[in-house]
Amino acid sequence: MTVLNLRSIKLRSGEEHRSEQEIELEPIRLAGQRYLPVPDKIPAEVAVTRASTGTVFELRFVGRLHGPCFRCLEETVVEEQISAREYQATRPNGSDELRTPYLDDDRLDLSSWARDTLVLALPAKILCRPDCAGLCPVCGKDMNVEWHTHDDSEPDPRWAALQALRDKL
């Protein structure tokens, strides 16, 4: 876990501190599949700006995940350019909108923040290519490698009761 200690940064209102940080990312689980960040330690730019009412945090990095395609399960890589911003009010007065969940006792959790922003930036489905055909629902072969069809075979016997009902209607 990568944490930035804000006590070491002394800022007055209107001042900004920028630094390069190496953030450690853990594997991410999406839809039951495991996606690995490569490399697992990424360079990031962190900016802390002191305002009169609070502190603004900015994070920029490029995140790359390796894992299976949602349709065909082939190894794929997705890369996202991340730019995130968080705000922490000096006196939030109990409002969750005025505080960041990544700040605890003057320690900014960069690993959690980077993971969350990366997951939110990912596409709804991670695909090896936009026109991925997926796996054949009958035999399980990769339709990208070998497109094929199956002859109409006998329907699954478990559907026989519904077939008989359809014939009556």
The answer to whether position 143 is within a domain reads no
Q: What is the pTM of this model?
A: 0.80
Query: Going by C-beta distance under 8 Å and a sequence separation of 6 or more, which residues neighbour residue 33?
Result: 67, 68, 70
Range of the domain at 86: 3-132
The answer to whether position 161 is within a domain reads no
The answer to whether position 54 is within a domain reads yes
Task: Please count the structural domains in the chain.
Answer: 1
The answer to whether position 98 is within a domain reads yes
Q: How many CB atoms lie within 10 A of CB 4?
A: 22
The answer to whether position 110 is within a domain reads yes
The answer to whether position 120 is within a domain reads yes
Cβ atoms of 37 and 64 closer than 8 Å: yes
Q: How many CB atoms lie within 10 A of CB 26?
A: 12
The answer to whether position 115 is within a domain reads yes
Percent of the chain with pLDDT over 90: 63
Residues 49-96: pLDDT tens digits? 998 889 999 999 999 999 999 999 999 999 999 999 999 988 877 677
Q: How confident is the model at residue 19 (pLDDT cuts 50, 70, 90)?
A: very high
DSSP H or E run through 83: strand 75-89
The answer to whether position 93 is within a domain reads yes
Q: Which residues pair with 16 in a beta bridge?
A: 49
